[in-house]
Structure 1
Amino acid sequence: MSHRRYGKWEGIYLAVPIFGTNKTIQAAINVAGLMERGIIGRVLLLKSSLDIEGNIREYGGYDCYVEELENTVDVVSIGETMVLFTPKIQGRMRYARSFLSRIGGAETNTLIGLAKLGYQTGWISRVGMDEFGSFILSTVRGEGVDTRHVTRDQEAPTGIFFKEKINEKNVCIYYYRKHSATSCLTPYHIDEDYIGSAKYLYITGITPALSDSCRESIFYAIELAKKHDVKVAFDPNVRRKLWSNEKEARRTLLEIAKLADIVMPGISEGTFLFGTEDCEAMAEGFHEHGAKTVVIKCGEKGAYYSTPCEKGFVESYKVEQVIDPVGAGDGFAAGVLSGLLDGLTLKESVQRGCAIGAIVTTVDGDIEGLPDREMLEAFISPTEIEDVSR
């Protein structure tokens, strides 16, 4: 694996102040056009800043290196990301007169969560040739996710959705995604080499519900993953309104679960598929359908995990106030996958998932609360210091 300093080698020197973040530097790399030219990699920050000739600068700063990863990625995912509009005031949306715009998508939420923890992630999708599509691409790319396999549709639009927050416990989502660009995704858009370069293929039950061609694309991607010994992680993430009928939804989701190495449903998904709210019964149902590892999200209670060799329950982390629960499950998935990538035990990985899920709920927005490693470690092992930045 090569380390190249993008500066002397590419004629571009990137420097950020001592308080610079990985996101800041990743954005600089994007602006410099490195990712546009097919150069991908994670940023390495060294606490000594060098000039173009390699001399140490007098001020304290960071030298920016990029660890070039060629075509390798830790996690690849396939799915739709849309533009999210949220009223600036709490209450019924009919009374809203101004909105905040963000991006939102289950798959990119998880990929961004992993990228913030330092993993190489890649996204396969389609967006419209419109301003919403440009907004999504610039945001996802700016968060450190490889978007080279996102294509743009000249005719179909980018999907949008609205989040109505009546209060902390009453949140309604309204989608406008029918015939969107992502629904036009086909197996043609799935690159075998890209899938084969990953350690995990992460998919949700949302994408196969968007269209017949999306469903074909998901099963084709799973086939490629199996061919190249890439592990498959699956969050059923049931969206009943997207399916033509519930029988087809159950059949498809259970077929994917059968092919997955790890399945991460919530209580509601397990109830939908097996008609029970009992975690052990749900896990057994998934095992009977071929799933090897099952991790069930139990909301504010924690999470239950089960394999043929072990099972257990992990309690959730407590937070002072829940601001926005949407996106917590995607953060949970990022935590579990990051733990497995780090070589942690399943229990330890689930504990990390619970931690990130809890952190996400304390911030408004799907991706805004996703932590980097420093934030995550501080949350898991808090120190007795005054909560004031000086």
Structure 2
Amino acid sequence: MVDVITMGETMALFTPDSTGLMRYAHTFTRKFGGAESNVAIGLARLGHRSGWITRVGDDELGKAMLSFVRGEGVDVRFARIDREAPTGIYFKELRREGDVRIQYYRKDSAASRLSPADIDEAYVSQARFVHISGITPALSESCHEAVFKLIEVAKKHQIPIVFDPNLRKKLWSETKAREVLLAIAAQADIVLPGVEEGAFLFNERDPDKLGKRFIELGAKLVVIKVGAEGAYYVDENECVHVPGYRVERVIDPVGAGDGFASGFMSGLLDNLSIEAAVQRGNAVGAMVTMVNGDVEGLPGKEDLTRFIAAPAEDVSR
């Protein structure tokens, strides 16, 4: 049995060892990153059981990726090796502090060949939550079909769906993105949009009004991320602001939203109040920005507890 099942692409991540324009870089560090595996790893580090559905290439990067994610405690039994397509890669260019740029090379990757056949109903049926990202349906038509198959199975077994829109405009047209993301949001129980994603979908930035738009679609709870200011949670009755955590120096903002999702769902799994779960999400998201890499800043439970108690203090002395 797993607590959370998620599905999507993870890629090999190459980051220059030097700061500045990547054209001048000669050496790179290889890591791994992908929204869904980031969430799965974040949950595992906080003591929960997470499962990840994906495809990787039959290549050294794919084998290293599976070994890495498995080593983080994530169940990868439904991460399949595709012998006809490669593992995707991307580059993270750290031009200067506060200026991070991403370049993807994922066209026709193994994960883009995910399909409804990759969804094992018996496996999904015993999860407590299903997590879906808006990235996966943008990768291909078969990925789109796989996402809606996962939704169908979750609905059949009354498993709450947590949806992070994770808008990636480079992957598809704005018209198609809006259509599909709204269709998924209409099926979700909990939606975790950033305020910019809300503006894209509804042309609305006010957290209360934005939350109510998602509620009207069918969501029971909406948590709107507003960066360093924290997040608002909105249900049928209220809109509550939960302050964020001050970070003196943001090293790498990529992956902060995934950290938030893992922290928030961890709070739900631990039966915290909604406000306390959002606070945990804010804390994990903040901690991720303080470290270079998508998953390297994801905390364990002890580190998270210490950060929430005294985020500005070094209590390890």
TM-score bin (small chain): over 0.9
Residue 207 of structure 1 aligns with which residue?
Answer: 136
Residue 159 of structure 2 aligns with which residue?
Answer: 230
Counterpart of 2:181 in 1: which secondary structure? helix
Cα RMSD between the aligned structures?
A: 1.3
Q: What do residues 335-384 of structure 1 show as CA deviations (whole Å, max 9, x unaligned)?
A: 11011111111111101000111111111111011000000000011399
Code of the residue aligned with 1:242 in structure 2: it is L
Return the match for 2:251 from 313, 316, 323: 323
Code of the residue aligned with 1:198 in structure 2: it is A
Return the match for 2:263 from 329, 335, 342: 335
Residue 185 of structure 1 aligns with which residue?
Answer: 114
When the two structures are superposed, what TM-score results if normalisation uses the length of structure 1?
0.79
Counterpart of 1:360 in 2: which secondary structure? helix
Residue 175 of structure 2 aligns with which residue?
Answer: 247
When the two structures are superposed, what TM-score results if normalisation uses the length of structure 2?
0.97
Residue 285 of structure 2 aligns with which residue?
Answer: 357
Shift of 1:168: 2.2
Are residues 1:141 and 2:66 paired? no
Q: Which moved more, 1:272-281 or 1:339-348?
A: 272-281
Shift of 1:385: 7.9
CA distance in 1, matches of 2:250, 2:23: 24
CA distance in 2, matches of 1:149, 1:79: 11
CA distance in 2, matches of 1:354, 1:383: 12
CA distance in 2, matches of 1:383, 1:79: 32
CA distance in 2, matches of 1:232, 1:186: 19
CA distance in 1, matches of 2:133, 2:49: 19
Q: Which has the higher helix share?
A: 2
CA distance in 1, matches of 2:137, 2:51: 19
Are residues 1:110 and 2:59 paired? no
Residue 122 of structure 1 aligns with which residue?
Answer: 51
* Percent of residue pairs identical: 56
CA distance in 2, matches of 1:86, 1:109: 17
Moved over 3 A (4+): 383-389
Q: Which has the larger radius of gyration?
A: 1
Q: How many matched pairs?
A: 317
Shift of 1:191: 0.2
Q: What do residues 74-131 of structure 1 show as CA deviations (whole Å, max 9, x unaligned)?
A: 0000000000000000111111111000000000101100000110000000000001
Counterpart of 2:48 in 1: which secondary structure? coil
Shift of 1:388: 5.3
Shift of 1:278: 1.9
CA distance in 2, matches of 1:316, 1:386: 19
CA distance in 2, matches of 1:362, 1:185: 33
Q: Retained in 1: the 8 A contact 2:245–2:311? A: no
CA distance in 2, matches of 1:152, 1:376: 34
Counterpart of 1:163 in 2: which secondary structure? strand
Residue 225 of structure 2 aligns with which residue?
Answer: 297
CA distance in 2, matches of 1:138, 1:212: 28
Are residues 1:175 and 2:104 paired? yes
* Greater relative contact order (Cα < 8 A, sep 6+): 2
Q: What do residues 170-204 of structure 1 show as CA deviations (whole Å, max 9, x unaligned)?
A: 11100000000011111011100111010000010
Structure 1, unpaired ranges of 5+: 1-71
Q: What do residues 216-275 of structure 1 show as CA deviations (whole Å, max 9, x unaligned)?
A: 0000111100111111000000001111x2111111101110110100011121111011
Code of the residue aligned with 1:298 in structure 2: it is V
